[in-house]
Structures are given as structure tokens and as C-alpha cells.
Structure 1
Amino acid sequence: MTSPTENPLATRTSRTGYGATAADRAAHVRFRRAMALMVMTLIVPGSAQLAVGDRRVGRMAMRVWAGTMIVGLIVLLISALNHQFLFGLLFDTRVLLLLRIGLILGAIGWAFLLVDAWRLGQPLSLTLQHRRAAIGVNGALCLFVASGLLFGSHVVGVQRDLVQTMFGSGDATDATHGRYNVLLLGGDSGAGRWGLRPDSMTVASIDAETGKTVLIALPRNMMNFPFAEGSVMAEQFPKGFDCDDCMLNGVSTWAQDNTELFKHSKNPGVDATISAIEGITGLKINYWAMVNLMGFRNLVDAVGGVTLNVRQPIPVGGLGSDVTGYIEPGKRRLDGFETLWYARAREGSDDYSRMARQKCVMSAMLTQISPQSALKNFSKIAQASSELVSTDIPAGEAGRFADLALKAKSQPIATLSLVPPLVVTSQPDIDLIHDKVSEVISRSDGSLPKGEASGTRKGKKKPAANPVAVTGGSIGSLGEGYAANQAEDLGSAC
């Protein structure tokens, strides 16, 4: 018999060396079980329900999870072997829509499974302290999973909006002689000004297999040039653009003032400019892209700036009294505002020096923007890009060009600028230009050895081997030529 003063509970339980009763141990077991069910659901959704809950829900969730993992693994394996496949998916609006819906449903379903796992842990059987801990952990897991998937859905939505906003809906065109030729037009945006008088014109000739790129720049003040045969502009100017004060950057304005001649054109100014570029260079233009220079500033800021070699002070502001400061010489990390002025400053330099600096900026942007930086700042980059570029490249071709850009990143960029001393812009020698364009492309793709000319025609004297530094990122001078305007490796010239 027990003594009257002995606690009956003490006769049914024994104490461990740590002072925990059997009831305490049971409470800890229930708590660990509740936590394990939530962790199981976090790692493999549906596993908790399959173990102790509704097995039909568990099997369905695990099948969806397993299917998603298998599809994801297959996509990763194929993408590792063929980057263009991945880029194709990233620029396919239908795939992006399905992915966005899937992420939203996944967030809802996964959060439901976590709440159900908490229920299966029998929270009412837990002590108050354990119950509070379980609620806190479950809430944190639901927030972590749902917010992660919903953020992913937002990023996919941003990408889809970017594709729909930026890219065209026309038909894809085939490469010409193994190359895609894309005309890059740069100009200011504003009321009634978008693209009316391009500030810069550059053809990016891209090898369709390797992505190796040649930049062919044309000065805005070129005159007396022919248009592509059979074009509207060639019919209007059979002897070339020979009207008074008519320059290359005025072609777009002329076409906009005479839209009745371009009955089937959505962008008469761009189409007219393309016919001029084709007549001058002898290249067939596949696509065009209009770059808003003010939007460019936002893009540079979105990627955290670019590093440029500033050789002499670059004025910030307009001409004369409008200059408000200078970008000091040295290797500097410039933000969007500074980079824009680096590329556009006119005080103390000429148009051809500006063209050289703009090429240095293009090279820096291509080589310095890493995939990690792009992913980290994706939303900002996407927003800036939608404000930056308008193009007729079809969305279905965007993946191809993204893949080519990735290939081009690790290769030298060759440049050719149709400027003095090579070309007299007021009376350009078109045959010479065609020879030089063919030569720089042939040298870039390896069909012409370095230092060997492709034809018998020669331009004026070549730039000096060690020209003096002038305002801008490229060495050289107006008389001798700027290194970045005629370079087999643009990076080394900047």
C-alpha cells in the first residue's frame, strides 16, 4: 500500500536523469512528429499526407512534384547542351503564361499542404509552448514557399510583358551568307521625336553560328549616297540622296513627310533608312532595333553601371556655357547619367570621336553584363529594356539572338566606321565602302587572313600605329582616324 501523502501520479511515472516525466517525453514526441510532417511537406509536397493523412491528396501532390522535377531536369539537361532551347522557352509567351499560372497554382497548393501537415500534427494535443512554436514554423514555411513561387510568377510575368512590348510579330528572315545583319538606330524619345532623326546608325553583322560580331557605323552627315535597288527611295532619288543639305539622318524625316509613298509600311522612316543603309553598305538588313538613348541611361543604372577607360576629361552638358562638369580621366565605373554623356558629349570633340566612344560603350555593355547580374537585377533591366528598345525582331527569334549574344560575349568585336579619313562623307566612294565592308566581315569570320586586303581598291592612309590620345574612350585623331572606329578587337582599342 502507498502512504496517504504519496502522489498517485508519481506511482505511475518515473523520472529520468534529466527530470522529464513520461508525459513530458510524450509531448516532445508529438511535437517532433508535428515538425517532421511540416519538414516532409517542405521537401516533398504530399509526403505527410501520404504517411498519415489523405493518401489520395498525397499521391496527387507527389505525382505533380515528381513530374515537375522530371520536366525541370530534362529542360536543364537539354539547355546545357543547347542554350538556344532555353532561350526559346524564355521568349515564348505561351510557355511563359503556362509557367506563370503553374507557379501561382503551386504557391496556393504548397501552402495548403503545409497547413494540412500542421493539422495532421494534431496541434490541440501539443502543449501551449509547442503549439505556438508549430504555428510560427508553419507560418514561416508557408510565407517562404508562397512568396518564393509568387515572386517567380512575377518575374515570369515581367519577362512575358517585355517580350510582348519589345519584339515584333512579323515573319522571321533567314541569314544572308551565314550572317544576320541588324540595324541599330539610336535617337532621343519625346513628343513627336521618336526615331525621326536617328542620332546614330550602326549595322551589327552577326555570324549565325558563332555569334562573332562586326559593327559597321555610318555617320549621320553622309550625303550623296544611293538607295537599295527597287526601293521607294531609289525610285524617288535614282541618282542618290542628292538634294540640298540632305544627310543620312534626314532620310527618316523625309519619309515621314511623304508617308503616302509607303503604302504598306508600318514604319516609313525606318524602312527608308534601311534602304539607304543597304545601298551604302551592300548588306541585306534582316531586322532593325530603335534604341532610345534616354532609356539607355536607365539600363546602365539597372545593371549597376559600366567600367570605361576615360582618356581625357569628358564634358557633361551641351556646348560652351551649357557644360556643367567633367568626367575625369581614368578607369572609372560610370552610372547611367555619366555613361550617356560619355557616349554623347560634343564639346571639344567631333562626330567621329563620338562614334568611337559609342562603340566603346557597346563593347563594355556586352562584355561586362554577367548572367548573374542580369538575374539579380532582372525586373529593373526588363523595365529599362522595354523603355529602351523597339524592334521588328519576332519574339520567336529572340531566343536565337540571345544565344548569339552569349556566344559573342567571349569573342573580340571588329569595327568599321565609314568616316574620314577612310571615307569622304560628302562624296562617299560606294565601291570602296562595299570592298571595306566585305573585307572586315571576311577577316572576322576567318576567310581572310589578318593584314591582307580583299580587293585592289585602297582607302586613304591608315591610322598611325600609336596615335595620340584625344577626347573620348578611343585613341586616335580626326586626321589619323580613331582606333575604335577601325578595329579588329574593339576591346583593345578602348
Structure 2
Amino acid sequence: MTQETAVRSRRKTGGRGVRRTRSRGRRALKIFGLVVALLVLGGAGAGWWMYSHLNGNIDSVDLDQAIGDDRPEKVATGARNVLVIGSDSRAGANGDLDHGNVSGARSDTTMLVHIPEGRAKATAVSIPRDTLITRPDCKDGDGKTVPGQKRAMINGVLGVGGPACVVKTVEKLSGVRVDHFVQVDFAGFKGLVDALGGVTVKLDQPINGSKGGLQLDAGEHRLNGEDSLKFVRTRYGYGDGSDLGRIGLQQQFMMAMLSEIKKQDAFGNPARLYKLADAGTKSLTTDSELASLTSLADFAQSMKGVDPATMETIMLPVAYDKTDPNRVVAAEPQSTQLWEALRNDTAIPASAKKSPAKGGS
């Protein structure tokens, strides 16, 4: 088609073809969908190599195969639930970040993000790592059955059975269907923050970490990747030194990082976008439905209406365990009210946001 013919065609359609093309282009550039820009700038060969490289960064798990049919029903309204797992594995590059290369991994962060129908807002529910739960029978990464256990700590599930077991445990705990999961480890988290050029946080009280921990006065701070990692792992030296206090820092940082990603004009800068995508996909594990740049871009596009400034962050209501005061258990009836609201995609009642435990281990 000649340029003149193309112009006449666009005039006949009232510019609709142009709008559709621009819409597709914007979607392709969202988050990890940068293949179009790479093809234009670097040629088909280089663009395909970069696309393949980023795809190859992503590990995946088939949840249906790993968990089977014993799962809650999907929310009929079209809402989505995404489980975010922050792994504190000390193996390999992660060991270098945490002063030691040791085997095993725990989920330092377990957060269920609920996106209601309409995708205009979201609610993030953090589950304290010291929460005692009943871990169901699971299959590990090799397909071997891991027997269930009562009174297991939720942060130990990842090391025992892998991310699929964490998904199954959260589903059993909540009765909420997990549609997708994203697991990020230390190295990937640090790299993403550094690729952003840092993240700005504001503290209402100082952090006085000991033994090489983070030292920050109250006020605003721009954190690099290494300090951001210390920030989200801070426990002692902040507030009452509890795990529940650390959850507040993690939720605050998540909001700050999402705001930073949204603020930066990465989509108009293919080189910067590639850097972010490369950092974001390294050390990333997802369910098989999200395990490609195209799938990630489509999912990101579907959530473009979610504003980090309006995202609600709450903690699973917990109470101190009567046998071990250093552990917590889901508080009733608050936790049941919370999970019921997520299952039915309805507003969370104020009573479900109150946690009897104000401190923690």
C-alpha cells in the first residue's frame, strides 16, 4: 500500500485505523511488551534475540498440574487474585546479598493481591511470615508428595514444597482461588530497584538496624537496590521489632515502587524499558499462564486502571498463639470475614481489618 493510499484509507475510516494501531503499540510497550520497539531500533535479528532472552529469564510452574482439581472455584465476577511471594533464598547470587550461600528458601513476603472486576482498584493482603497454618499435602518441584503438617509456619512452605505448595496452602487457608502467582527473589528485587534508579520512601520514625542493618532517620530517603532490600527485611530496630511492623514497611515500599514505575517514562525509552524488563524478569517465577512477555504485557494492560495511590494494603487479622506467643494465628471472626469478602468480590468490612495482635515475634 502506498503512502497516499494509506492516507485515503485512514480518512475513510475517520482515523479509527490509526487509533487501533496506536492502541496496539501502547499495549505492546506496557511493562515487558517491548518487542515492537526492539524490532524497529535493532532490526529483526537483534529484536528477536532480546525477546527470547527476556522470555528465557522467566521460570514457570503449571499450577493445575502441580495442585490438581482440589482448588476453590474461580470468582464468577471476573475478579483476579495474584499471590506475590518474596523469596529469601540464600543460594547463589542471593547468598552474596545476604552474607552467606546456604541451601533452602523461605517466603519472606506472602501477599495476596485482589483485583476486583473492573480493574480500577486493588487490595493487598499480607500474611505474617510467623503465622501458623495447616499445610496440605503438596507436590514439590520433582513431583514428589510432601506430607501435610499442622501448626507449620507459612514462611517455611516455600522451602518444603515450592511456590505451588505456597499457592495451595494459601487457597486452603482462605478458600480464595489464586489465579496467578509471581515469585521474586533477592537478586531480582535488587536489580529492579537499581534499574529504576532507586525508590523514594518516607519514614515517620527512624530505623536503627544493628549488625550491618539499615540506619535511617525519620523523613524522606532515596534507596538503591541493596538498601531497599534491607528496608523490606527490616524487623529489629524499627517500631516494636515485630514481624507485623515489617509488613507495614513492605507494603509501604510496594506502593512507592509501583508509583516510581508509573512515574517514569520508560515506555517512551526502549533502552530503559529493556533494562527494566531484563531486571524484572531475572529471578522471576510465575504460573505457566503468565510465563511469557506477551502474557505479562496483556495482564499489565488489563490492570492499567489500578492506581497505586488508591491501592488498599491490609494485614491478615492475627492473634497471638496460645501455646507459643512468638507465633500468631488467624484471628476469628475477622479473617473469615476478610476471605469471604474476597471470595465474593465485595467490600471488606471494617471489622475484618482489625488485628488483635499489635506486636509480634
Q: Superposed, which structure 2 residues align to 1:227-266 within 5 Å? A: 227=136, 236-237=147-148, 241-242=149-150, 246-255=152-161
Q: 1:197 to 1:449 in 2, by over 3 A?
A: closer
Task: Please state if 1:210 is matched with 2:210.
Answer: no
Q: 1:206 to 1:195 in 2, by over 3 A?
A: farther
Q: Determine the structure 1 residue equivalent to 2:19.
A: 77
Q: 1:353 to 1:100 in 2, by over 3 A?
A: closer
Residue type at the aligned position of 1:355: I
Bigger proportion of residues as helix: 1
TM-score by length of 2: 0.71
Cα displacement (A) at 1:215: 0.8
Return the alpha-carbon distance in structure 2 between the equivalents of residues 224 and 408 of structure 1: 31
Q: Superposed, which structure 2 residues align to 1:340-351 within 5 Å? A: 340-348=229-237, 349-351=241-243
Match of 1:201 among 89, 100, 110: 110
Q: Superposed, which structure 2 residues align to 1:284-323 within 5 Å? A: 284-315=177-208, 320=210, 322-323=211-212
Instruction: Please say if residues 90 and 96 of structure 1, whose CA atoms lie closer than 8 Å, have aligned partners that are also in contact.
Output: no
Return the alpha-carbon distance in structure 2 between the equivalents of residues 432 and 423 of structure 1: 16
Number of residue pairs matched by the alignment? 322
Bigger proportion of residues as strand: 2
Question: Any idea what SS the aligned residue of 1:362 has?
Answer: helix
Return the alpha-carbon distance in structure 2 between the equivalents of residues 69 and 313 of structure 1: 64
Cα displacement (A) at 1:87: 2.5
Cα displacement (A) at 1:439: 3.6
Q: 1:338 to 1:171 in 2, by over 3 A?
A: closer
RCO higher in structure (CA 8 A, sep ≥6)? 2
Question: Any idea what SS the aligned residue of 2:275 has?
Answer: helix
Return the alpha-carbon distance in structure 1 between the equivalents of residues 102 and 303 of structure 2: 29
Instruction: Please say if residues 83 and 111 of structure 2, whose CA atoms lie closer than 8 Å, have aligned partners that are also in contact.
Output: yes
Q: 1:271 to 1:389 in 2, by over 3 A?
A: same
Instruction: Please say if residues 224 and 426 of structure 1, whose CA atoms lie closer than 8 Å, have aligned partners that are also in contact.
Output: no
What are the Cα deviations for residues 73-118 of structure 1, in whole angstroms up to 9, with x where unaligned? 86751266x67x843687999x948x766x4xxxxxxxxxxxxxxx
- Compute the RMSD of aligned alpha carbons: 4.3
Residue type at the aligned position of 2:110: M
Q: Determine the structure 2 residue equivalent to 1:412.
A: 310
Q: Determine the structure 1 residue equivalent to 2:97.
A: none
Q: Determine the structure 2 residue equivalent to 1:435.
A: 337
Return the alpha-carbon distance in structure 1 between the equivalents of residues 221 and 9 of structure 2: 46
Cα displacement (A) at 1:384: 1.1
Structure 1 unmatched ranges of 5 or more: 1-61, 104-148, 256-268, 463-476, 480-494
Question: Any idea what SS the aligned residue of 1:406 has?
Answer: coil
Return the alpha-carbon distance in structure 2 between the equivalents of residues 161 and 207 of structure 1: 33
Return the alpha-carbon distance in structure 1 between the equivalents of residues 348 and 182 of structure 2: 32
Q: Determine the structure 1 residue equivalent to 2:70.
A: none
Q: 1:156 to 1:186 in 2, by over 3 A?
A: same
Identity of aligned residues (%): 21
Instruction: Please say if residues 280 and 433 of structure 1, whose CA atoms lie closer than 8 Å, have aligned partners that are also in contact.
Output: no
Question: Any idea what SS the aligned residue of 1:369 has?
Answer: helix
Question: Any idea what SS the aligned residue of 1:277 has?
Answer: helix
Return the alpha-carbon distance in structure 1 between the equivalents of residues 278 and 167 of structure 2: 28
Instruction: Please say if residues 218 and 418 of structure 1, whose CA atoms lie closer than 8 Å, have aligned partners that are also in contact.
Output: yes
Return the alpha-carbon distance in structure 2 between the equivalents of residues 400 and 221 of structure 1: 35
Residue type at the aligned position of 1:161: H
Task: Please state if 1:181 is matched with 2:81.
Answer: yes
Of residues 273-282 and 194-203 in structure 1, the stretch that sits farther from structure 2 once superposed is 194-203
Structure 2 unmatched ranges of 5 or more: 65-72, 93-100
Instruction: Please say if residues 122 and 306 of structure 2, whose CA atoms lie closer than 8 Å, have aligned partners that are also in contact.
Output: yes
Match of 2:174 among 277, 281, 297: 281
Question: Any idea what SS the aligned residue of 1:242 has?
Answer: strand
Match of 2:300 among 370, 390, 402: 402
